[in-house]
Structure 1
Amino acid sequence: MFAAEFESAKTDSRRRAPRAPVSLDARLGKAGRTLCKVVDISIHGAKLQTYSALKRGETIWLTLPEVGSIAADVMWADDFIGGCQFRKPIDADVFALLVEAQGGIVAG
């Protein structure tokens, strides 16, 4: 008979930074002509609901309140919902301002 103890790996999260549920009106495209809704945000990325289908691997321009236009890569997409990673993280103070304006709570 063989017996051994093991300790499972513990991971707090696969995310690099805290995220927060929000409901922010935003725009897609360099000219900002397409409306979308940001439903989740961190300093590194966001989850979007859109009126145009997103495609994994494409680079988009996302215009956020208090931030302006930011380049982001679509990391996953399911028709009109997708997650994007910002090419350059947004400032932590701006992130806090966006979340506080929504009355949101940052999740780890």
Structure 2
Amino acid sequence: MFAAEFEPADTNGRRRSARAPVSLDARIGKAGRTLCKVVDISIHGARLHTYSALKKDSTIWLTLPGAGSIAADVKWADDFTAGCQFKQPLELDVFEKLVELNR
């Protein structure tokens, strides 16, 4: 019989900043024709639920309520869920306003 104890490594994850759970209606595309739902967000990126599949390593325009259009790189995509990283971090006050929309 094999037995061993282990201690998990204490890492702070891969993210540069904490994400906040939200439920925001947003749009994808320069013309904003594709609907999506932002389900969590940080100043550096967001996780999206989409109605059309996104491709990893593509760049999208994400229009957030009250924040306008933001360029973002799709870092991963799985069916109709995707994670994206903003080309420029959100301003802290913009991030806080987006989180506050869900309270």
Q: Which blocks of at least 5 consecutive residues in structure 1 are unaligned?
A: 1-6, 104-108
> What corresponds to 1:75 in structure 2?
75
Indicate the percent of aligned positions where both proteins have the same amino acid.
Answer: 72
Report the aligned-residue RMSD.
1.3
**Number of matched pairs:** 97
Could you state the TM-score of these two structures normalised by the residue count of structure 1? 0.84
> What corresponds to 2:51 in structure 1?
51
Higher relative contact order (CA 8 A, sep 6+): 1
Can you list the C-alpha shifts for 1:44-84, whole angstroms capped at 9, x where unaligned? 00000011101100000100012100110000000110000
AA matched with 1:87:
K
Q: Displacement of 1:13 after TM fit?
A: 2.4
Following the alignment from structure 1 to structure 2, what is the Cα–Cα distance between the partners of residues 27 and 88? 18
Q: Which blocks of at least 5 consecutive residues in structure 2 are unaligned?
A: 1-6
Give 4+ residue runs of structure 1 displaced > 2 Å after superposition.
Answer: 7-10
Following the alignment from structure 1 to structure 2, what is the Cα–Cα distance between the partners of residues 20 and 63? 18
Following the alignment from structure 2 to structure 1, what is the Cα–Cα distance between the partners of residues 29 and 12? 34
Can you list the C-alpha shifts for 1:17-42, whole angstroms capped at 9, x where unaligned? 12101000000000001100000100
| 3-state secondary structure, aligned to 2:16 | coil
